[in-house]
Amino acid sequence: MTDSTILFRDVLQSAYGPLDWLPVPDGAIHRFHVPDDKAGTLNGWYVLYLDGIASGAFGSWKTNGSSVWSSRSPVDYREAEQVRQRIEQASRQREAEQQVRQLKTASLAQRWWRDAHPADTDHAYLIAKGVLAHSLRQRGDELLVPLYADGVLANLQRIAPDGGKRFLFGGRVKGTYSLLGRITPGKPLCICEGWATSATLHEIGYTVACALNAGNLKPVALVLKAEHCNIEIIIAGDDDRRTEGNPGRTAANAAAIAVGGLVAFPDWPNSAPDTLTDFNDLYRWEIDHAT
């Protein structure tokens, strides 16, 4: 055990909480359980070097974030170059392992999708949202939402009857999307967060790419703009009025700016409660309050 190993563990603990083990300083990627994550998961990763300046990197597969660490600042160019090379090596290792994980998950997603049956029209989630099943499939009591990247099924979002949502573990999410309709020149393309919102917009005539979360709006918009440079893009954003910073509006505006597109948000009636956030919420509220 070295002081640097203990210092590195202290940094990990400050980021993720108490850990009952010491990092292995062998220059290889190691996975670990992040204390607040689901039991049995190994979303955390780290790599640690002790020769020369002790340095390393760490992050979470779940949040896709990463950080770097060194025991002290380099005193000359040679030491600085050594640390830089190590961080680049750690990044390459992480990217290679991530690619392996994503390919493995894509294979699982394709097998599940192939073996699933068309979604039941009376599935509790579809009834609650007031939308049709469209191209969704179902495995057990879970709806399967397909997420594509470069025309290949890369991941699935699983939707439980109570609305709980989970992606397949280890799969790619950034830049993937689920499409309702056909992208056609001269016809606008909407990009939104949730699948129920995409179904709502599609049912009134729009082609819609569902990004599944706010953080993925901009990556999806950039991918689709690159593939269809002349298409008009409308970001149909969520309006998280009760959440500090309104992340739905913030992400939607950023995505629209990035691709030179338009942005649209629900136009709330004065009597609508501020618990409503998206176009599906507005659609269902208007039906419930129709006179």
User: Tell me: the pLDDT tens digits for 54-105?
Assistant: 888 898 877 777 888 888 877 677 878 887 888 888 888 878 888 888 999 9
pTM metric for this prediction:
0.79
Q: Token match 């770097």: residue?
A: 68
**What φ, ψ does residue 18 adopt, rounded to 5°?**
-55, 135
Sheet with 165-167: strands ordered across: 117-118, 137-139, 142-149, 152-159, 165-167
Q: Which long-range CB contacts under 8 A does 38-44 form with residues at least 24 apart?
A: 41/169, 44/12, 44/16
Segments of the chain scoring below 50 in pLDDT: none
Give residue 290's pLDDT.
73
What letter represents residue 35's amino acid? P
Q: Write down the H helix ranges in the chain.
A: 3-16, 77-115, 124-129, 195-202, 217-227, 247-259, 279-288
Q: Which long-range CB contacts under 8 A does 107-113 form with residues at least 24 apart?
A: 108/168, 109/146, 109/147, 109/153, 109/154, 109/155, 109/156, 109/168, 109/171, 110/153, 112/139, 112/144, 112/156, 112/168, 113/137, 113/144, 113/146, 113/153, 113/156
Largest CA distance in the chain: 76
What letter represents residue 108's amino acid? L
CA 35 – CA 23 distance, rounded (Å): 15
